[in-house]
Structure 1
């Protein structure tokens, strides 16, 4: 989920902004630096107050480095608020200045974009951004910055393995940072390091190890960050509450979760509130407290709807900015080719002028002059053709390209051959990201080729999945409807029963009874 992606991010941003970035603000003084520090510190605890500071800082900014520094802090503020639309806006404002800033800020822009891509499950873009940082790292001469980039790349790689539930590989990767233990401590990154280990061991169901690293992460966080990052605090609460839940200590888990909900107060981060309310509801269910379970589950479902809408909007915004970025890159290349053409034309003009002077002064060289001019005209034509070729491949966005449509259809077939559709987290935005497209294209193609909207498409896959299980694995006939609902990806017993009946025409209990009798008769 998105929280598992963003909860570590804020902790290592301050390190580069304060220690690796070259002097910020062209007329920088102590007050300017205090304002930068204060804005970043408040970003993850009091984001709305931090925004007031960044508005003031933007008015004072005069260089590309100044502006990018503020845009990155704005991006962190919006990460803290769970507003990935505005996060993308801030990052791509910074990206427009990427060729005008120092190497550390350049890397930080790409890292932020990689984080956003991973958060929104735009994994192809994530890989592209990581590759860019690796190139920057190899070219970097500053040893401190090079170490920092290596540490952060490893954090990203380990988090990606955790997102993919490859916990063993995540441990292997994070352990490669042992050589940087001093840098990690000096950079106040220990809590990030320990949190990654805690998540990975929890995924491996090594709960004692996980609990040890959550405690180490908590101690490092309090020591280095003085309770100023609600994302990290939420990660610690959710992680340790999960461990309590696994031990069936529901009361201890609820105590942590409800206290943290109060601490969040009027937080705007729907992602955090969705997770916390979901965990509270589950623990009340463990205590068989149906009244409180229903109360917090209703809150969870409300936030879940908001998260779905926010995620869909953010994915579309990110794709729009990515397309804009690609268009600018193409325009830059085209301008470079034009410059070559104009240079050739200028050279042609000068040579022609010089040739004419020679022509009038020495007619004997006329034949040679024509050969030179002819050669240059051929060269110029090749350059013009090269520019035209670049123009001819500019993408048209009036309709879905045939190749794109075929790629999406192939991707859908591959998707249907997996069981990813049984994930409760599956959404139009999530699937679009996995297929490396946008939600509008995906929705249109599902409507066109399946005569269904996205929800109907997913629900049919889930119902067909559970029917196959019932037919081929008889033990499923004895499972409760609530288990079948969860197994196939539905959020509740009732929604599963409603959808099942709408597709098959009969209730799941009736279907199971009929199927059980049929199997019994065949055996008899």
Structure 2
């Protein structure tokens, strides 16, 4: 009955905002009570849902990423593998869709994949396979990606036709249409034009004029426009590309928006209108400047602009587009495990650099650019050297810390803190020897039972627990534990959590806030500072080194 009542409360809270449009931040006054209730009741399933809703309705990308991190945090607390799959997939989608950071997205998808091996939720399995396929497609593994999308199509098609709740049917239909669109991209790049044409017709037939699938229809129209451009049907291509443009622009999918602009520009070129085409090619350059991302197939955009500048004797623009092309190559190379021959089909790096050197002799502006590039390079070298030095220091400190804990597997009782101030000796209260021994025994029990992990522990509280007073306890700790109460407590806590990080790799997956709470420290910053003060290394650096060490041993 109670569970039903709680469900009803959450249900009614969500009803207040579920009709808001995606990215509409006006939903937040209603989302926050939902999140607060789930936090208070430690209902992690609902908390994950609340953060998921916050991702959906956030307007800014950095907010979406922040709430995606919170999803992962709540899912970790739940220890529910399905919730962990959902959280990591959603975080990966933010990296992929909003930032186009494919490597970070793939890390999240692979993390979700590990949890999905034993799940009975097939929807989550195929959702994750779809996103892995998207990354494979981006990297140029079109045949491998197509296999994954084919599997997704079969699953989603069957589910979309099943007798499920309307929301589930809608989600599966979305999954089906998106898988079909990604398969079309694979067919286009693999030269499978017969399959491509059939898939486009199938997609447009499936979406019809249903406004719920307006974005998917725009993607199919974009694919149709590209196919028409390839067949030199330039006017028809412009019509379909223009029809797809509003939905793609509204979806904030800047990668597909760039593709749309590119083929509109190419279609105008096919019609002999170079001035109109350059307008669209420059829009792609604006998107690249804003997001620092460009798809490999759009590299030609800068080749066209370079040739256009040459033809019009505009050396300043020619130099600019040449630099942009080199920058685009550099960014693409970071993501790709290999470079497609297409990337360097007309302009290889050597030719581009020679062209740039020629322009530098003619245009005074180039000299300024070279100086700026040199300064930038020096800055990068200095930054790299600084990072290398810091990495070396971290490694050395980690080795020292590891040696310390190899010698003593138990939590180390602090006895190496600073020696007590001899000038305070006269002020100390004389304690009976037996009383001291009794307090030391109680402190030993306190340490063995991990009493130091209590939150908000003060010397007064500990004295009360041990049946003594603060003054006596303070004197014993100062004389026999090598420092004052705060240092004694801090070292117990940090040694305890450090030992857990060495011995149990599950703690390496916890965030800093969770680790702090585990050992009784309330503040993330306080925990990080104490960890550094005692261990000589930041907890984030320590965790990274420990995970690398475990990975190396496994390999």
The normalised TM-score by structure 2 is 0.47
Which structure has the greater CA radius of gyration? 2
The normalised TM-score by structure 1 is 0.49
